[in-house]
Amino acid sequence: TRILGIEGTAWAASAAVYDAATDDVFIESDAYQPESGGIHPREAAEHMHDAIPRVVETALEHARDTHDGPEDEAPVDAVAFSKGPGLGPCLRIVGTAARALSQALEVPLVGVNHMVAHLEIGRHTADFDSPVCLNASGANAHLLAYRNGRYRVLGETMDTGVGNAIDKFTRHVGWSHPGGPKVEAAAEDGEYVDLPYVVKGMDFSFSGIMSAAKQRYDDEVPIEDICFSLQENVFGMLTEVAERALSLTGSDELVLGGGVGQNARLREMLAEMCDQRGADFHAPEPRFLRDNAGMIAVLGAKMYDAGDTVALEDSRVDPNYRPDQVPVTWRTDEPE
């Protein structure tokens, strides 16, 4: 099976070709970089409009170069696209591109849930059976686990996504987008100052801690100390809930997903927690953690093989597409 994947939920215009026979994932991405402030939906959509045709052309070239079938045969078996969740104006461009390509290449369409793709790429690269997944991305933060044909949301943020929360703080202090890597660098020289820590059962909240962090900055607390403490508390909260999710499900596998998963301190905390309970931990390589079409193509292949394609007239994008809305057609495990 060979799948062309297209991703464009927010900032990454990305196209990929996944070849199941060789397990090779070719990814071409073009990131939107806001000139000031955070992600602006209209500007992000303009970026998609310019960049999607370019990245798709590069991916298709790769697909043609590596295709050993007849000349007149399509170089891929299907076109998979990120159907949601994400920014509506961006998703609509991706949906239109995917429909056009599916018609031009005369291959079926596969509509992929972006959050489930974050999880499945972790499961795929780790060869894990039935892990709990911590999705720590820009616009999201949640714990997922499989049960009875669906990925269930076991715990989630009560306000913003974890990356967006960090980015709001860095905007306040005048750092350019994205803020996560800058906080990580500054935290290296920091010491702990008191900040809120908010976990309620399986859910968590970032708004109080971010307001307090901004206040500390305005009170002239050294920025390194605030960054250090932000990481300790925010990642500590995620680690605590991830542990509770492992305990609740009885799973001994944890995978990480999302752009914030590139953070070494978060990975260290999760690895340590897993080590202490005898669980296995897997963080995919960075190109699979941040938004990328590789994960769309890989899950697209599993869905295609399960016959889970979508007719043109049912291929509308869904900005609020939740992971627990997705019938998991590609897993054959017995319900637990």
Among 179, 190, 284, 300, binds ligand ATP (CB under 6 A): 179
Which of 8, 111, 155, 161 forms a contact with ligand ATP (CB under 6 A)? 161
| Strand intervals (E) in the chain | 2-7, 12-19, 24-31, 78-84, 109-113, 132-136, 141-147, 150-156, 199-200, 203-204, 253-257, 280-282
- Backbone Cα Rg of the chain: 20
b/e 244-275 (16+ beta carbons within 10 angstroms → b): bbbeebebbbbbbbbbbbbbebbbebbbebbe
Tokens standing for residue 243: 């542990």
Residue closer to ligand ATP by CB (options 60, 183) is 183
Site for ligand ATP in 295-324 (CB under 6 A): none
> Which residues 74-93 are close enough to bind ligand ATP by CB under 6 A?
86
CA angle centred on 294, ends 231 and 46, rounded to 5°: 80
The answer to whether 42 touches 34, Cβ cutoff 8 Å, is no
One residue of 126, 139, 195, 226 binding ligand ATP per CB under 6 A: 139
Nearer to ligand ATP, 69 or 174 (CB): 174
Nearer Cβ to ligand ATP (56/183): 183
The span of 13-21, 176-184, 196-204, 242-250 binding ligand ATP (CB under 6 A) equals 176-184
Contact 162, 137 (CB under 8 A): yes
Which residue, chain included where needed, has tokens 């059962």? 201
Residue 260 interacts with ligand ATP (CB under 6 A)? Answer: yes
Nearest distance from C-beta of residue 283 to ligand ATP, angstroms? 12
One residue of 5, 111, 163, 323 binding ligand ATP per CB under 6 A: 163
Tell which one of 120, 184, 232, 243 touches ligand ATP (CB under 6 A): 184
Question: Which one of 160, 233, 263, 315 is in contact with ligand ATP (CB under 6 A)?
Answer: 263
Q: Which amino acid is at 160?
A: T
131 part of the interface to ligand ATP, by CB under 6 A: no
Integer angstrom CA distances of residue 313 from 72, 99, 100, 108, 309: 26, 10, 13, 12, 12
Task: Closer to ligand ATP by CB, 121 or 166: give it.
Answer: 166
Q: How far is Cα 127 from Cα 145, in angstroms, rounded to an integer? A: 16
CB under 6 A: which stretch of 60-68, 132-140, 297-305, 326-334 binds ligand ATP?
A: 132-140
Phi, psi of 315 (to 5 degrees): -100, 20
Inter-residue contact 130 to 280 (CB < 8 Å)? no
Q: Which amino acid is at 291?
A: D
Stretch that binds ligand ATP, among 13-21, 72-80, 136-144, 148-156 (CB under 6 A): 136-144
Stretch that binds ligand ATP, among 8-16, 240-248, 267-275, 309-317 (CB under 6 A): 8-16
Nearest-approach distance from CB 137 to ligand ATP, in angstroms: 3
**Residue of 155, 190, 258, 294 interacting with ligand ATP (CB under 6 A):** 258
- Nearest-angstrom CA–CA distance, 191 and 210: 17
Is-contact 146 328, C-beta < 8 A? yes
Indicate which single residue of 262, 273, 283, 288 sits in contact with ligand ATP (rule: CB under 6 A). Answer: 262
Give the residue, chosen from 10, 223, 241, 293, that forms a contact with ligand ATP under the rule CB under 6 A. 10
Question: Counting contacts by CB under 6 A, is residue 137 touching ligand ATP?
Answer: yes
* Contact set with ligand ATP (CB under 6 A): 9-11, 86, 114, 137-140, 161, 163-164, 166-167, 178-181, 184, 258-260, 262-263, 290-291
